[in-house]
Amino acid sequence: MGLRLLIADDHEVLRLGVRSLLTHKRGWHVCGEATTGIDAVHKVRELNPDVVILDLSMPGMNGFEAAEKIRRSAPSTKIVFFSVHDIPASARMAGGDAFVPKSADAGELISAIELVAGHPHRSQNHSVNKTT
């Protein structure tokens, strides 16, 4: 089936943009979307994605809390924090595998996903804050 991805962000336009970007990659499949941290935790259990692209600021349960619960229930699922808050060290402590600021270009998000999924992008011209 390829790489299964879950996008968790409370902004619809951002989710649609990320979905559009990721579905252009051969072998990648966006298996679901979540609008809250609680929804993200439930969707991980239900859909078993390989990678979660997780916002930090979401209603109900923030990304740090969601990452902790995801890490406990699905330890093999990789977490890429994608946020306006530039805090890669905090993301590492919260169980993230990589951090990409929302100000980054599209290639950086793709590189981070490839890196945590074990399929590094061949060109590697983009800086990625891998948290492990």
In the chain, what are the domains? 3-26+46-82+94-130 (3.40.50.2300)
pTM of the model: 0.86
Q: Are 38 and 11 in contact (CB under 8 A)?
A: no
* 69 half-sphere exposure, CB direction, 13 A CA radius: 16
**So what's the pLDDT on residue 132?**
43
pLDDT digits (tens, 9 = 90+) for 76-114: 999 999 988 666 555 565 678 998 999 999 999 999 999
**So what's the pLDDT on residue 111?**
95
* Helix, strand or coil, per DSSP, at residue 16: helix
**So what's the pLDDT on residue 87?**
63
